[in-house]
Amino acid sequence: MAEVSLKAGAKIDVLNRKEMKEVLDVATRDWFNQVARGDRYRRFSASAAIDTGSLTIGGAAARDAVLGPAEGFVWAVQRIGIYGLTIDGETEPVQLFVNDDGPSSIVHPAVTGYQDFGSYALVLYPGDVLLVKGTDLVSEGTATVTGQVREVPYPLAWRLGG
């Protein structure tokens, strides 16, 4: 570091030209690596048993079935399918939430089978998770949620349009 004298007599260290170039080179290289990584399309899947008419898949409490982006990434959920909830040819509806099952977190009040969100309709940021909940279900056994997302690094979230 270069040493600079101030009129007050204090001395501080500042970056010289070479050190500044090294810092900027690392930052630029990291940025280009993120841009070059680009968008990825990922599929996800999680299952849970229907327990006395209730179903919970995902959410922050169910760490084995967390459905959300890894730290530093953003998801645009494109489609979701719910399977294993059919009685006499009819699919029982479940609710879809982000993070928790509070009223302000609801995304869809009655998903039956397949839900298409289009390209950009449901965006999940770092720390967000999907939560599927069903109550008063007649179906028994195991239910599965599957889906596809478009994933980008957080600094490139603007690409998702959300």
pLDDT digits (tens, 9 = 90+) for 103-115: 999 998 988 888 8
Mean pLDDT of 113-121: 79
Domain 40-160 falls in which CATH fold? Answer: Jelly Rolls (2.60.120)
pLDDT at 79: 92
Are the CB atoms for 124 and 75 separated by under 8 Å?
Answer: yes
Among 22-26, 58-62, 78-82, whose mean pLDDT is lowest?
A: 58-62
pLDDT at 95: 92
Full-model pTM: 0.74
Q: Which residue has the higher pLDDT, 32 or 129?
A: 129
Mean pLDDT of 18-36: 80
87, β-bridge pairs: 90
Nearest to 129 by CA among 100, 149, 151: 100
